[in-house]
Each structure stands twice: as C-alpha cells, then as structure tokens.
Amino acid sequence: MRPPATLQIIFLLCMSLLAIPLSAQTSKLAQVKVTGSVKFPEAQIAAASGLIVGEAVSKDDIQAAANRLADLGPFANVRYRFTSTADTVSVEFTLADAPTVPVLFDNFTLFSDEELTQALKDAVVLFDGTAPEQGSILDSMTDALQQLLATRGIKAAVERTYLAGPGESGMMQRFEIKGVAGLRVTAVQYGDALATESRKLAEPARDLIGKPFSRFAVGVFAGEHVRPLYLARGNLRVKFGTPEARFTGNPNQPLPDNVTVFLPITPGPIYRWGGVTWSGNSVFIPQALVDFLGFAPGEVADGLKVEAGWERVRNEYGKHGYLDAAIAAEPVLDDSAARVLYRARITEGVQYRMGQLVITGLSLTAERLLIAAWRIPAGEVFDKSYFEDFLANQVKNKKLFGEHIVHFQRVGDLLQTIPQKKSVDVLLDFH
C-alpha cells in the first residue's frame, strides 16, 4: 500500500535534510539545539555534548557528541539531526529524561551534605542532586568525591552501589568511603519523644553501637524498628530525616573517633479509621471483608493492624482456594479530619482444587501414614490454611507418624499451581 502523497513529501524532506553532507573536512558549528528534556536547561545539555559553537566539527564529531549524551546516563532515546550550508552546520539533539534515584552519602562524616553536593555540582555537568541507574556521570561523581577526600588528606577509596534503600525509600545510589577506619557510634538519639522514651528500641539500637557510622545502616534500623512504633500509634505519614553524625565530648575538643547518631523524626498526624471502598470482589461481600479487617469506625488506624488485616483477607481467600488473590490498597489521607480511607482493589484469580499429593524422602510406611492423615481429597476446593496447619502441627513435629520412627531434619514444601487445570499439587520433600 503506497503512503499518501503528503506523507511521502515529508519523509523525503526529512531524508534530504539528514542526507546533506558536511564538507569533506569540517564545517563551523553555527548552532546546537536541544529538545525533549524537562529536568535540564538546553544550555547545560549542549555543554555536556562537548560541541562548541563557532568551532569546526565533522560528522564524526556530531556522532561522538550524541554518543556522549547517551552514555552519560540521565538521558534516554538520544537522537540527532543536522543541516548544513556550504561552510556551517546546525545540530539538533532530541532526547528524553531517564529515571533517576536519590543519592546517599553514606559515611562522609567529615563533610556536610552541602559541601558534598556543591563539590559534585562544581565538577559534574548535569548533576542535579539525583543519579541515574548507570552511565558515565556516575564515574564523574565518584571521581569528584575522591578528589574532595584528597583535599582533607584522606587516603581512601570512594565506592558506589545501586541498591534498594531501607524502608520504603525505593532504589538509590549509595556512595561510601572504603579503606579507612570510620567513626564509631557511641549512642543513638531521636528527634521525637515517642522514640526517645521507648524501651523497645534499646536492644536493637545496640546493633549500631560500636560500629562505624553508616546512614544506610541507620536507615535500615529506622525502617525495621522505629517506624513500627509510629505506625502502631496511627502516624501513617511518619518521616525520617537524613541520619546525622554528631561528634561527642566537649564541642571545642570533640572526641576524634566517636559520634552520636541523631535520627530526625517528623511523626505527622495520628489518623483514625475512615473505612474501605472495595472493588473486584465477588467471593465475599464488602461487609465480610470489613469484618476480616477488624476495625471499628473512628478507631485509631494502627498501621501494623492494617497490614495484618490485609493478610487476614488474603488468608480467607486462601481457605476457599484462591491462592493467587492479591490486594492493592491505596490510603486516602484526610489531614483536616485526621482520617484515612482505603481504596482496596482485589484481584481474586483462579479457584484451585486439590491435585496430587507428591511425597519424596520418606519410607513407604511413613508415606502411607501421611497420606492417610491428609484431609483434602483430589478435586475438592483447596484450603491453604489447612495445608499450613497440617504442615506445622502434624508433619514438622512428626506427630502424625505416631510410634513409627522417621529420620528427617527438614521438610521442603511447595504448592505447584496449574492455572489451566485450576488445580494445585502439594509437594513435600523430606531431608
């Protein structure tokens, strides 16, 4: 099928622009135009390309500039085109911003965040406080931090790691100093009374004491131990600031090797239960789902109880054979009323029935005893809660075997679902 005449003209016009050759040697660069980026100014991107208006360039120079932008990391889908006259050439780059993540300066205790950020801005073109997953800009950032250490006479290496941040912070680029003794943590302090007065934090905080200061380690501690205190109280929007290393001792003569960790905390409002709106459910009516959650209107929205409630809903589906049931719950926070309403979307999936019970690693007698004790016949709706109870209270404690001696240390278990047949096989492997 031939394209419409108008499209043919546009296509040929574009091709003719791209086909105009530069001179056999070089041409003077008249203009560098950049489109597509939202995060960075056109002038900064043009500078990062390495092309300089007024200088002579060849087609290879333009291709190299495009490659340079693509290799940096902050951009995706870098394309270019150029137009030329007898002795000048104009270049246009079209690109899109690539996703970036936060930067964590993990253990740079002798530098403020402002110093670190400014050093990167001064040395690295297009550094905006975040970093891409990969790209040559990361090497430039690492080198800049390495040079900053040298200004203080610190002989150590700077390493970076792309990893999942602690808690709910998502992915991040962590920069840390390696090869030098870090400042040791002597105490942990909190920026809110609830954490300060809690005895529950005393024992887990000991995992930080005596070890080198690490913001990442403090973040893990905050997510696993401090956050639950606030969620249980209904502080669903609790925020943790960047952990600080504060020197101990006399302010005029601080101890050179010891620091106190300070964790800033902004608790936010205490929210109360405002209910749930359900969608996607057909197995249970909304009131039954509400009953599974166990909240009364106006009750403090204990975040830990909320999570346990969603798990109870999943368990109830599991009792009825819906092993793939999933819940996507979105909190809608009303700060003026200090209430939270959840929008819960349920994907129920397939209802599974019992398939085969496959046992390996047992003697024939022990296998017969296990099969005789199993209470879900083939073809019946599978009950996941029965399976979990059977495994914990009959199999692993060897209760069902009675006086028959069995020799196993571990039991491997797997529910092998077959969606096409709507069946699930139970696999038990004894070691």
Number of H helices, E strands in the chain: 13, 19
Q: Which amino acid is at 297?
A: P
Residue 371: HSE in the Cβ half-sphere, 13 Å Cα cutoff? 13
Signed CA dihedral, 36, 38, 43, 48: sign only = negative
Backbone angles phi, psi at 103, to 5 degrees: -105, 135
Last residue of a domain, one of 47, 69, 97: 97
Type of residue numbered 285: I
pLDDT at 202 over 80: yes
Q: Which residues contact 84 (CB under 8 A, 6 or more apart)?
A: 20, 21, 22, 23, 27, 90
CB-based contact 376:386 (threshold 8 Å): yes
Which of 159, 180, 201 is at the close of a domain? 180
Indicate the pTM of the whole model: 0.81
**CATH number of the domain encompassing residue 67:** 3.10.20.310
| Residue pair 61/84 in contact by the 8 Å Cβ criterion | no
Residue 360 lies in a domain: yes
Question: Of 296, 327, 347, which residue constitutes the final position of a domain?
Answer: 347
Could you tell me the residue range of the domain that residue 108 belongs to?
Answer: 100-180
Report d(CA 169, CA 192) in Å as an integer: 20
Q: What is the mean pLDDT of the chain?
A: 90
417 and 366 together in one domain = yes
What pLDDT is recorded for position 179?
Answer: 83
CATH classification at residue 248? 3.10.20
Tally of domains within the chain: 5
pLDDT tier for residue 13 given thresholds of 50, 70 and 90: very low
Does 359 reside within a domain?
A: yes
> Where does the pLDDT of residue 250 fall: very low under 50, low under 70, confident under 90, or very high at 90 and above?
low
For residue 145, tell me if it sits in a domain: yes
**CA–CA gap between residue 148 and residue 131 (Å, rounded):** 18
CB 307 within 8 A of CB 331: no
Q: Rounded mean pLDDT of 13-27?
A: 49
Same domain, 379 and 308: no
Same domain, yes or no, for 341 and 366? no
Please report whether residue 338 resides in a domain: yes
Task: Name the DSSP letter for residue 200.
Answer: G
The reply to whether 81 and 25 lie within a common domain is yes
> Is the model's pLDDT at 94 over the cut of 70?
yes
Instruction: Note the pLDDT tens digit of each residue in 96-111.
Output: 999 999 999 999 988 9
Q: pLDDT tier at 25 (50, 70, 90 boundaries)?
A: low
Same domain, 23 and 90: yes
